[in-house]
Amino acid sequence: MSSAYLSAEELARSARQHWQIENGLHWRLDVGFKEDDCRIRREGAAPVFAGLRHIAFNQLKAETSFNKGMPAKQKKAMRSTEYLEKVLKS
């Protein structure tokens, strides 16, 4: 729903742009963090962990000294406390 006065073409273009961004982020979270495989169901834990995944994703994305993909950055952060500190400071 929108209060904007748009033609059908403008509305369709706007909707496609929104979902392209949304699907791109979801795909990155699912590939990088296996978000769809998460089975946390207890009380309010699922949204908390989703928030933590978003924070971790943003921190890893902001760290630019290691120019690799998200899975490689995750592994490096797991294996190196120096790199993990660098990620957390970025």
Written in H, E and C, the secondary structure of the chain is: CCCCCCCHHHHHHHHHHHHHHHHHHHHHHHHHHCHHHCCCCCCCHHHHHHHHHHHHHHHHHHCCCCCCCHHHHHHHHHHCHHHHHHHHHC
| pLDDT reported for residue 29 | 78
Domain spans, the chain: 8-89
pLDDT (average), residues 31-42: 77
| pLDDT reported for residue 87 | 94
Position 2 confidence tier, pLDDT thresholds 50, 70, 90: low
Q: How far apart are CA 29 and CA 70, in angstroms?
A: 9
| pLDDT reported for residue 1 | 58
Residue 41 phi, psi dihedral angles, 5° rounding? -130, -5
| pLDDT digit string, tens, across residues 37-86 | 778 878 888 888 888 888 998 999 999 999 998 889 999 999 999 999 99
